[in-house]
């Protein structure tokens, strides 16, 4: 482990320098890693594990779109691509990478296959943390671990192919074997994590749900819409409103923040922008912190989990989702975005 200083808070972080790929391969040399689900996280994790030399199989429903996707990715039926049930029988480490709703639906089948000494692996703490609602309660005679990449499976795979990785968290819920720590670190290195930081199943899902509903997706989309509307209501054109709301943020400022941090980005803006941003930042924090507190409490008390489970169990949910996304796509804000993005690549060589 390497000790990292986060503004005076010291955390132990694991990287491949401290925990090598060779060590991970040695720890898991006798394991059959069964990746159940080939949707969001499944492909990236399975392919990275395979390319890193681990014994990996994929379990997926036959004749489904994702079954065909797995075949196109080089998984071979009856060699390393099986039905979910057969993969569960063959696997010693069960990577449960179905959606949260899918995990609930498949749990009775999966739980019957979790014989003594196996390992159940998650990349999200939802099912375990909200077990009273999901019914996902693993047997006591197995290890239960988690590695949660801080990004999509597609990003995990693309970064791996570039020789890079995603930061990821890890957690242990049950350590029946006494070897759960080595297993979880080995899995993290195996899937291509750039670094691994410790968490718990509960903290992982609390932070994840808050982030998704907050700055990662919900809050940023709402802020975009609010600023765009105000500019348009005050006579600004769609192109001007979009460029000042979204385009400059995503194409100019976010890369600077990602590369060097917020203060560095501020230092490389005009003095007019610096002063205004520093003056208004406390106002936005004051206005939004109560919303985040309300959001976190909703995550903590299980309301968000209940909403998700109820929505996904509704047979009309997919239609509702498609309608909501279509409404967003067809809004003036994001239609303006289509045009602006085309202009982005209009520079003559």
Catalytic residues: 124
Single out the residue of 151, 79, 147, 156 nearest to residue 119, CA to CA.
Answer: 147
Q: What is the number of alpha carbons within 13 Å of residue 237 lying toward its C-beta?
A: 5
Strand 143-149 versus strand 166-174 pairing type:
antiparallel
Rounded distance between C-alpha atoms, residue 334 and residue 114, angstroms = 46
Token pair belonging to 166:
């995603």
3-state secondary structure of 205: helix
Tokens standing for 296?
């976190």
Bridge partners (DSSP) of residue 31 are none
Contact 127, 100 (CB under 8 A): yes
CA dist., res. 32 & res. 261, Å (int):
41
Contact 148, 169 (CB under 8 A): yes
């Amino acid at each position: 482990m390497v000790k990292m200083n986060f503004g005076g808070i010291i955390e132990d972080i694991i990287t491949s320098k401290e925990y090598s790929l060779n060590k991970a391969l040695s720890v898991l040399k006798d394991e059959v890693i069964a990746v159940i689900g080939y949707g969001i996280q499944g492909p990236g994790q399975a392919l990275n594990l395979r390319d890193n030399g681990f014994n990996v199989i994929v379990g997926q429903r036959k004749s489904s779109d994702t079954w065909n996707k797995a075949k196109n990715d080089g998984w071979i039926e009856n060699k390393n691509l099986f039905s979910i049930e057969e993969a569960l029988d063959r696997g010693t480490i069960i990577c449960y990478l179905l959606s949260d709703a899918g995990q609930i639906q498949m749990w009775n089948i999966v739980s019957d296959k979790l014989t003594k000494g196996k390992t159940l692996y998650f990349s999200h703490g939802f099912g375990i943390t909200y077990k009273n609602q999901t019914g996902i309660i693993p047997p006591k005679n197995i290890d239960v671990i988690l590695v949660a990449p801080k990004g999509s499976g597609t990003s995990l795979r693309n970064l791996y192919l570039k020789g890079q990785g995603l930061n990821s968290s890890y957690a242990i819920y049950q350590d029946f074997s006494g070897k759960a720590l080595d297993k979880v670190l080995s899995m993290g290195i195996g899937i291509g994590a750039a670094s691994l930081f410790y968490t718990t199943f509960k903290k992982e899902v609390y932070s994840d749900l808050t982030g998704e509903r907050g700055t990662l997706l919900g809050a940023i989309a709402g802020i975009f819409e609010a600023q765009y509307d105000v500019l348009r209501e005050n006579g600004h054109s769609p192109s001007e409103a979009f460029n000042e709301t979204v385009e400059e943020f995503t194409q100019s400022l976010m890369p600077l923040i990602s590369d060097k941090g917020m203060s560095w980005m501020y230092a490389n803006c005009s003095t007019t922008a610096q002063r205004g941003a520093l003056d208004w930042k406390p106002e936005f924090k004051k206005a939004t912190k109560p919303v985040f507190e309300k959001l976190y409490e909703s995550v903590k008390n299980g309301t968000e989990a209940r909403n998700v489970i109820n929505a996904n169990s509704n047979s009309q949910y997919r239609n509702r989702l498609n309608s909501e996304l279509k409404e967003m796509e067809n809004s003036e804000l994001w239609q303006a975005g289509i045009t602006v993005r085309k202009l982005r690549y209009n520079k003559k060589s």
